[in-house]
Structures are given as structure tokens and as C-alpha cells.
């Protein structure tokens, strides 16, 4: 298990002094990479050989978001590899043991040139499962609901990462901006996301969103689906 102690700083929070959802998923992303390197599958086996780690599905259950100046513990650990999919689990908790957030994700490896999935064992990549008893269920694709609202979004330079596409964490900022409930001070309770295809700098996608009571749904499409996300407040 990979574990870090984190103090919530001003650049981690929104206007309500709560941890930003996008920052939380940045920690999940960076923690995944750091732990994978610690387990002997660093960039010399992946990035340096033209292989990229890509997240396909994510899920989080939020009891409470930590606040500015609060100290918390972030943990991540791997599940059992499923053919070309790498499950990973995450948690945020207080030093007193209060569970704040539990999350899970499915990662895969793709060839940087073809953008197709690769078989990990052919590249010497083996990550052993760890079980703690604190795992939540693995993520599944969000269920679509009616989307009466629509708009367009063009990917700016600041949203693009070293893989050459819009970083997965930026979708959370986009969703909160489009939906508007977080700006009203409402805290997310559950969130799930599916990334179906990539979108690069300067490319545009059509956005559609709607809600049923406290459940909101957002998706982005070009000629194919880019992502879809559900958010429960």
C-alpha cells in the first residue's frame, strides 16, 4: 500500500474551503503512478517504451470533503489484474480514523502510437493484488438520463497532459462548471466517470447534461463519445 500524509492548502480548495474534486483525482492519478513505480513498473517499462497508463473508469463515494488546513492520510493499493485492466483503490481519512472518501478505478496500458491496449505480461508488467477489506465496488459506466441542456467545449492548452490529450482530472472541473451545483455550495456525495476516447488540444466536443432530482449526468461527444459522468449531490 502507498500512503501519504497531506495538509490541505489554499491551492487545493474551492471557494468554500473544501478540497476540489479535480485535485482529489489528481492525487489519485499521481498516487497510482508513484505506487506503480514503487512496485517495479516505472517509466523504464512503460513511458520509455512508448506505453501509456490510461484510466478508463473511476468512481468515488464521498462522506465528507476535507477542509483547508486539515491534515489527512491518502492511501492507494492495487486490485487483481483482469487481463488488460488494472483495478486500483483509494481512500482519504483523518488521522483519527474518520473515513472521508473511498474510490476505485480501472487503468489500462495503451501504445502511444496506435492508442490500442497492450498486454501487460508481454512487456514484463506484473502488479500483485492487495486486499484490505476496505475496497468499494469497481466502477461501471454511468447510466444516462435525459439531457435537455447542451453546449460546446474546446480543449485549451492548460487542460492537456503529457499523454497529449485532455487530462482526466480536468473533466471534473468542466462538469462542476457546467452543472453549477457545486458553485452553490452543495457537496458531491457520489461520482462516476467513463472515458471512452481522447480529445486533444484545440478539438471541440458537444456537451449534453441534465438531472433527475439530486442526480446529474453529463456527457461529451465528437463523432464518437469522449466521456460520460454522473454526479450525485
Give me the average pLDDT of each 10-residue run along the chain (233 residues): 96 97 95 84 71 89 97 96 89 96 92 79 78 93 95 96 90 96 96 95 97 97 97 98
Residues 36 and 108 in one domain: yes
CA nearest 205: which of 146, 154, 167? 154
Q: Indicate whether 23 belongs to any domain.
A: yes
Q: Indicate whether 222 belongs to any domain.
A: yes
Q: Which pairing describes strands 149-154 and 86-94: parallel, antiparallel, or unpaired?
A: unpaired
How far from each other are the two terminal CA atoms of the chain, in whole angstroms? 30
CATH code of 53's domain: 3.10.129.10
Q: Indicate whether 219 belongs to any domain.
A: yes
Residues 155 and 54 in one domain: no
C-alpha separations of 126 from 28, 35, 37 in Å? 20, 13, 12
Radius of gyration for the alpha carbons in the chain, expressed in angstroms and rounded:
17
Q: Indicate whether 144 belongs to any domain.
A: no
Q: What domain count does the chain have? A: 2
Residues 30 and 117 in one domain: yes
Q: Indicate whether 177 belongs to any domain.
A: yes
Ramachandran class of 153: left when φ > 0, alpha when ψ lies in -120 to 50, beta otherwise: beta
Q: Answer yes or no: are the C-beta atoms of 132 and 77 closer than 8 Å.
A: yes
Residues 88 and 179 in one domain: no
How much is the pLDDT for 89? Answer: 97
Q: Answer yes or no: are the C-beta atoms of 6 and 27 closer than 8 Å.
A: yes
Q: Indicate whether 38 belongs to any domain.
A: yes
DSSP 121: G
E-strand ranges in 79-203 read: 86-94, 99-111, 149-154, 190-195
Continuous segment of H or E residues that includes residue 35:
helix 21-38
Q: Indicate whether 205 belongs to any domain.
A: yes
- Boundary-marking domain end, from 123, 141, 167: 123
CA nearest 76: which of 128, 134, 139, 31? 31
DSSP 13: B
Instruction: Report the distance separating Cα 99 and Cα 17, nearest Å.
Output: 19
Q: Indicate whether 143 belongs to any domain.
A: no
Residues 119 and 21 in one domain: yes
Residue range(s) defining the domain that contains residue 158: 149-232
- Boundary-marking domain end, from 89, 123, 157: 123
C-alpha separations of 47 from 8, 23, 195 in Å? 30, 23, 20
- Contact partners, residue 145, CB within 8 Å, separation at least 6: 210, 211, 212, 215, 217
- pTM value is 0.88
CA nearest 223: which of 209, 208, 206, 210? 206
How much is the pLDDT for 48? Answer: 67
Continuous segment of H or E residues that includes residue 186:
none
CA nearest 190: which of 136, 233, 219? 233
Amino acid at each position: 500500500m502507498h500512503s501519504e500524509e497531506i495538509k490541505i492548502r489554499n491551492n487545493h480548495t474551492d471557494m468554500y474551503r473544501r478540497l476540489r474534486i479535480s485535485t482529489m483525482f489528481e492525487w489519485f492519478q499521481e498516487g497510482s503512478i508513484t505506487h506503480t513505480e514503487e512496485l517495479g513498473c516505472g517509466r523504464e517499462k512503460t513511458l520509455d517504451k512508448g506505453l501509456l497508463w490510461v484510466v478508463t473508469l473511476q468512481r468515488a463515494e464521498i462522506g465528507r470533503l476535507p477542509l483547508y488546513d486539515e491534515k489527512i492520510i491518502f492511501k492507494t493499493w492495487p486490485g487483481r489484474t483482469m487481463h488488460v485492466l488494472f483495478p486500483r483503490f483509494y481512500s482519504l481519512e483523518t488521522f483519527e480514523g474518520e473515513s472521508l472518501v473511498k474510490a476505485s478505478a480501472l487503468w489500462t496500458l495503451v501504445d502511444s502510437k496506435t492508442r490500442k491496449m497492450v498486454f501487460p505480461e508481454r512487456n514484463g508488467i506484473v502488479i500483485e493484488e492487495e486486499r484490505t477489506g476496505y475496497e468499494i465496488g469497481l466502477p461501471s459506466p454511468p447510466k444516462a438520463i435525459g439531457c435537455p441542456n447542451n453546449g460546446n467545449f474546446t480543449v485549451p492548452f492548460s487542460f492537456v497532459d503529457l499523454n497529449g490529450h485532455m487530462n482526466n482530472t480536468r473533466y471534473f472541473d468542466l462538469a462542476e462548471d457546467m452543472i453549477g451545483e457545486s458553485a452553490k455550495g452543495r457537496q458531491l456525495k457520489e461520482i462516476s466517470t467513463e472515458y471512452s476516447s481522447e480529445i486533444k488540444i484545440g478539438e471541440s466536443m458537444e456537451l449534453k447534461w441534465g438531472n433527475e432530482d439530486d442526480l446529474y449526468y453529463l456527457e461529451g461527444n465528437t463523432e464518437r463519445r469522449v466521456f460520460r459522468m454522473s454526479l450525485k449531490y
